[in-house]
Structure 1
Amino acid sequence: MASRTTHRVLDTRSLNRATLARQLLLSRAEMPALDAVAHLLGLQAQNVKPPYFQLHARLAGFRPDELAGLMESRRVVRMVTMRSTIHTHTAADALTLRPLVQAPRDRELGNFRKGLLGVDLERLTGLARAFVEAEPRTMGEIREELLKHWPDAEPQALSVAARCRLPLVQVTPRGVWGRRGQVRLTTVGCWLGGEASDAEAEVSGAGVDGLVVRYLRAFGPASVKDMQVWAGLTRLRESFERLRPQLSVFRDENGVELFDVPDAPRPPADTPAPPRFLPEFDNLLLSHADRTRVVPADLKGRSWAGNQAYCTLLLDGFLAGLWRLDDAGRLTVELFGRATRQEKDAIAAEGERMLVDMAGGAGGAGSVRFGSIHG
């Protein structure tokens, strides 16, 4: 193991294997879903199904009803946190992470200040809180309620103000596998019966430092800029410097300083990495400033179309293609390059496993096909 003062260079494959190990993608972990959600610091959840597929790629024996049960029992929740996007978090993280990412919410709200002229934000916060805590509300209902008090304000700005000022969660059945539900919101404190984590909550240096360590355990080795991209935060250098004596320090092939937790896994670069099917917006592909540890430079942008992400295939640990699952349970895999027969067989086997576990497919020949996902 490297000493805490070493600046050994980690090449791209070494970074890839280290990150996959932290992300539970080198081998499926024997871990409860709740523990995995906590370890991963949440699951990107812009859409309802991706968190379930993220856990299937990472956990042995995972079935959708495990996470659905956690949603219904309020042990995990959906809310806006990192990068101003919806994540599925444990109840404990929902209460503690939201204040840590309040600064970006304040900056976001600043973009709407012209539409909020004459609006008392403290009063708006109180009114919105009382309204959503009386019963969960849709964003449209929140907007209409606030317009009663500020009819000359810009309607969207009022909605944004409520979302940015309050720690709002999406209540079930939204987010529960196999169930439909309109997005209805209340405060995290009201939903969990705990102490609300408001915009006014004090954020201590110790809290930020703890988040740095947890980020490194889930995504490291990483640079300061990597974590800032993941969290949507700035000015994290101070925390890394406080922690420097406790961390291992490396450099990547471009000379960028990388930090890591000393006892975190850093497998050999030649460690086998099995194929994995990841859903759209998986945090593996979104949580570093330099994504070449997973996305080869020549494939940059291939997993996106506009502001929408495709479902992605990892082969030998790196982005190698896209996939689509249709309503009939047919899985189409589009490879970016050539694959050996052995690699295709491994991809098909992993796809069959996903069909059986997640899509209710019966498996068997023909369930997985190789071709264009747009065909």
Structure 2
Amino acid sequence: MAIMDELRAWLILESVPGVGPVTASRLLSALAESADEEDPESDITALFDCSDGHLHDVGLSREQVRALRHPGIGVEEALRWADGPGNRLICRDSPEYPPLLREIPAAPLLLYCRGELDVLCLPQIAMVGSRHPSYAGKDNAARLARALAGSGLAITSGLALGIDGVCHQQALAVGGITLAVLGSGLDQVYPKRHQLLAEQILINGGLLISEFSPDKGPLAEHFPRRNRIISGLSLGTLVVEAAEQSGSLITARYALEQGREVFAVPGAPQNEQALGCNRLIQQGAKLVLNAEDVLAELNWTQICIPPGGAGAVSNANADENADVNAGINSALPYADLLDNVDYETTSVDTVAERTELPVEVVLGRLVELELAGVVIAVAGGYVRARRANHV
């Protein structure tokens, strides 16, 4: 069977209204059972040889059968996209489809990929977290991503602002491999501010992945679906910093349902951005203080930390911090400076070093933030007030 014929069959099946990964699996299983075949996906093209009556018998409505017989133009458009340079379209029964992902419930029928396809089956660790992290969250993400990528694990995340972006960038900074799973089509990179980051991932031997057709924009319902792929590709999921209602916890829940490891970095109880991680740890997630905590749990021994130490933060992290801060829509004064005040005592010198501002400027702004009630002066510096989150 020609590859394009097989792809066309999967594309047509996926285009049928009301047929997603779960329904498609049930349909193919029912057809295999009726044909006494052990593998329900051994020959998807046999689906199109069935009579309308048989398709009704296995659960398709008249409208769905009609859509199966008369597919829209999107099928041919996807095939043309797959023919483009650097593009690959992988169906679920392809030998290139990642085995770990195939194991999960509701595994995607198709994966649109751009970049180095070989990395799709590398051992991966998912790293996710807040889109609006604290300084400590960004620092932890940078430190852990560098060490884990330096150990030989590929870093998988969602290309979002905040923790995701830091992890992608730090993996690249140490010459590691990183994969980005998008909640949009690959021709509609979201967020736009990470278009350059997406290009850097490709240039450095990584991969962009989506289950959505290339022209699909980002929709709210896409991101939980994306999250199950992030966890499904990975040996485990590390939540670096997350509030109690964070989408990162959806990824952690998927990881649990998929039988994968869940890791979380603890945070100060006063930090609302860390409450989700603390809750995960209460519920049994592995507490992570350093990369060795993750590597030991995974029995991963290929450790090759790059020169300069795993805790070093590169300019890529600074760029991400600036990128996040630039997008904050806040009524508070000096929201960017506030990001650099921790929930534990932070000296004025430390804030000045992080913000690269003169000490006298930092002091003046901290006084204004204190008057606004978002930082508190203590012995040795300032702490962030519990309700000081500006996003």
Structure 1 length-normalised TM: 0.24
Structure number with the bigger relative contact order (C-alpha 8 A, sep ≥ 6) is 1
Task: Give the structure-2-normalised TM-score.
Answer: 0.23
Q: Larger Rg: 1 or 2?
A: 2
